[in-house]
Amino acid sequence: MRTNDVMLQTATKVVTFIILLFAVHIFFAGHYTPGGGFVGGLLTTSAIVLLMLAFDMNTVRKILPINYVVMTAVGLLLAVGTAAASIVFDVPFFTHAYDYFDLPLLGETSLHSAMLFDAGVYLVVVGVTMTIIQTIGEDE
Amino acid sequence: MSNLLLFPIIIPLIFATVLMIFPKNLKMQRWIAVIGAASTFVAGLFLLAKVQSDGVQAVTLGSWPAPFGISMVSDMLSVLLVLSSSLITLFVVVYSYSTIGIKREQSYYYPAVLFLMTGVNGAFTTGDIFNLFVFVEVLLMASYALIVHGGEKPQLRESIKYLLVNIISSALFVAAVAFLYSVTGTLNMADLAVKIPEIEATGILTVIAVMFLVVFGFKAAIFPLYFWLPGSYHAPPVPILALFGALLTKVGVYAIMRTYTLFFTMNIGFTHELLAIIAILTILAGCVGALAYFDVKKIIIYNIIIAVGVILFGVSQMNEAGIEGSIFYLIHDMLIKAALFFLVGIVAVLFGTTNLRKMGGLIKTYPVLGWSYLVAAFGLAGIPPLSGFPGKLLIVQGGFEGPQFWGSIVILATSLIVLLSVVRIFIYAFWGEPVETVPLKKSSYYQMFTPTVVLVAITVFFGVGAELFMPFISGAGEVLLNPSIYIDAVLKE
């Protein structure tokens, strides 16, 4: 018999968004402060795992209909693609570029292509950890 | 085009990633896998031409100056190894079509093969000791996936052993790199080659050199550390076994070659003599195994260990003949082992067993298969016009010129045992009373046999046309014997 977990589910609905926001913050802060794609990815996974604990795997799959293996592949392609873009400009592999841009709302911001590489890492980390958890979780 | 030397690493990586997106589409999987392997081979050919005309190629990633970034270096040795490993992967992919089974093909088999190729090519190309560790892990992860792929009972049992041994040796690798870094303060191989001769405390460096021998010895299966190999390699199906037998131990051999010629040269009297003794013991241990078994896969598996010993004995002599001989023998051995595993795989499919005692009389029904097996077996033993001969001849010559002449005598004597062990397969499986074979469709037989016979033809060409290949081999040997060429190419500015 399933116990009544209304407390857990209500708390989860709030806490998940806080964790997700923190994950995004950690991810974007990685260039100047501790953080980055790896930790950001793990935090995002922890938010999804919390959802899975509070509800169940099928509900979560309805909320997030994502094929995590494809997500891993896309992340890898993004990371390799960022590194390989340097080949087009005939500089050594993995040479990054950066510049300052005037963005609306944010003002003058430095944008660095290492960010795209980190986004690839983020997708791979989320994809791999979620694949592991889903595969073990669904194992009968 | 400064990034050309990275193409053999990036191409299989991108193709493997794309293949992960649609695992169930069999036709696309096969086509994209074979295109990926073939284009890697073509990129390797371009790189060979470039290295041949312009000398050692080096690029430091991220436009950083040399000792600070990760250097990737492509000298003649690494290009030749990248080329032969790409060629073997191409043949393994084609051979897999009819042997590996649709269920395995649909669960990420080809991505794993291409990731393995990425790791192997990266390990051959890198010029940074920690990056070497990372690429070794890339190829090991892919090999873990492949060894357990399909999930049969023996595979599950052996994959646990394989994982355990490799995790322990990888941990030891990290520890050895940490020691080396704390003594020298650098990880770049060319920079290490500059710094190590300046350090006077050779005692600690000798200890580190022996640690590296243990680490790479686990990967390459040298004498006391080969215990995991026969069982683990016996478990997976033949195409995977061919890939492992041809490539994985050779990465360890290459790493020993590179470290023991480039920077661990401060105490040759101890380290290289130790290497020579271990190499001879490896040959003897392999010979015992090759004679002891009546299982076709086991016999060829023990021949891997023998070949590792022969190559390392050539390296330990540190003279021109020995080094060139080991390079030639290394490439020959990669090709011939893949060919032999392919042949043995067909024989095992035809009889439905790997037990030699239950086989017989195949020469009447499959004559071409029989004769190509005999050619490959003679090539392995080193009978003159074939590919095993020039390498072994040079290694033996190197031994007679060097301090360990008795090692050369052991190598010559054990060649007879190698010949005996592989000819025994020929005698039992192809001669004698015909045994009923498993009926096989003509088309699927030819799908298996075509890549095999082409690979055997390549090994014959490699032996008969040895004169054509010798300029490349001696170019590779020159860089190994004169580390200054390597150092200048990396630290040029």
The interface pTM score, or ipTM, of the predicted complex is 0.92
Domain span at residue A61 reads: 6-137
In order of B152, B345, B446, B459, the CA distances from B362 in angstroms are 29, 14, 16, 23
Q: Does A69 sit within 8 Å of B2, measured CB to CB?
A: no
Structural domains in chain B (count): 1
Q: Does B10 sit within 8 Å of A84, measured CB to CB?
A: yes
Where does the pLDDT of residue B223 fall: very low under 50, low under 70, confident under 90, or very high at 90 and above? confident
Write the pLDDT tens digit of every residue in B155-188: 999 999 999 999 999 999 999 999 999 999 999 9
Question: Would you give the DSSP letter of residue B106?
Answer: T
- Cβ-based burial of B343 (10 A; exposed 0-12, middle 13-18, buried ≥19): buried
Q: Does B17 sit within 8 Å of A80, measured CB to CB?
A: yes
Write the pLDDT tens digit of every residue in B446-470: 888 999 999 999 999 999 999 999 9
Structural domains in chain A (count): 1
Q: Which residue would you say has higher pLDDT here, A45 or B432? A: A45
Nearest CB partner across the interface for B21, out of A73, A95, A96: A73
Nearest CB partner across the interface for B62, out of A80, A84, A92: A92
Q: What is the pLDDT of residue A4?
A: 78
Confirm whether A1 is domain-assigned.
no
Q: Does B62 sit within 8 Å of A95, measured CB to CB?
A: yes
Distance of CA B253 to the CA centre of its chain: 8
Q: What is the pLDDT of residue B451?
A: 92
Q: Does B2 sit within 8 Å of A72, measured CB to CB?
A: no
Distance of CA B178 to the CA centre of its chain: 27
Q: What is the pLDDT of residue A1?
A: 52
Cα atoms in the 13 Å half-sphere on the side-chain side of B249: 34
A-B Cβ pairs (cutoff 8 Å, strict):
51
Write the pLDDT tens digit of every residue in B81-99: 999 999 999 999 999 988 8
Report d(CA B25, CA B22) in Å as an integer: 6
Please list every residue in chain A whose beta carbon sits closer than 8 Å to the beta carbon of residue B15: none
Nearest CB partner across the interface for A92, out of B17, B20, B60: B60
Q: Which residue would you say has higher pLDDT here, A87 or B395? A: B395
CB B422 within 8 A of CB B380: yes
Cα atoms in the 13 Å half-sphere on the side-chain side of A88: 7
Is the pLDDT assigned to residue B399 strictly greater than 60? yes
Q: What is the pLDDT of residue B212?
A: 95
Is the pLDDT assigned to residue B493 strictly greater than 80? no
Nearest residue of chain B to residue A82 (CA atoms): B62
Q: What is the pLDDT of residue B416?
A: 93
Q: What is the pLDDT of residue B229?
A: 93
Q: What is the pLDDT of residue B464?
A: 92
Nearest CA to B244 out of B311, B336, B338 is that of B338
Strands B57-60 and B71-74: antiparallel
Confirm whether A117 is domain-assigned.
yes
Confirm whether A52 is domain-assigned.
yes
CA distance A112 to chain B (A): 14
Please list every residue in chain A whose beta carbon sits closer than 8 Å to the beta carbon of residue B3: 86-87, 90, 92-93
Write the pLDDT tens digit of every residue in B244-295: 999 999 999 999 999 999 988 888 889 999 999 999 999 999 999 999 999 9
Report d(CA B376, CA B296) in Å as an integer: 14
Ordered alpha helix ranges (H), B58-128: 76-99, 102-105, 109-125
What pLDDT tens digit does each residue of chain A (140 aa) get? 567 788 999 999 999 999 999 999 999 988 889 988 999 999 999 999 999 999 888 889 999 999 999 999 999 999 999 988 888 888 888 888 888 888 887 888 888 888 899 999 999 999 999 999 999 988 76
Q: What is the pLDDT of residue B426?
A: 92
Domain span at residue B89 reads: 2-491
Interface test with B, best of A67, A93, A98 (most B CBs within 10 A): A93
Q: Does A87 sit within 8 Å of B18, measured CB to CB?
A: no
Report d(CA B307, CA B336) in Å as an integer: 11
Please list every residue in chain A whose beta carbon sits closer than 8 Å to the beta carbon of residue B59: 92-93
Nearest CB partner across the interface for A80, out of B3, B10, B69: B10
Q: What is the pLDDT of residue A73?
A: 95
Q: Which residue would you say has higher pLDDT here, B224 or B493? A: B224
Q: What is the pLDDT of residue B65?
A: 87
Asked whether the CA dihedral B358, B364, B365, B370 is positive or negative, the reply is: positive
The fraction of chain B above a pLDDT of 90, given in percent, is: 76
Write the pLDDT tens digit of every residue in B306-356: 999 999 999 999 899 999 999 999 999 999 999 999 999 999 998 888 888
Please list every residue in chain A whose beta carbon sits closer than 8 Å to the beta carbon of residue B10: 80, 84, 93
Query: CB under 8 Å to B440, separation ≥6 — which residues?
Result: B349, B350
Interface test with A, best of B9, B28, B63 (most A CBs within 10 A): B63
Write the pLDDT tens digit of every residue in B92-148: 999 998 888 888 888 899 999 999 999 999 999 999 999 999 999 999 999 999 999
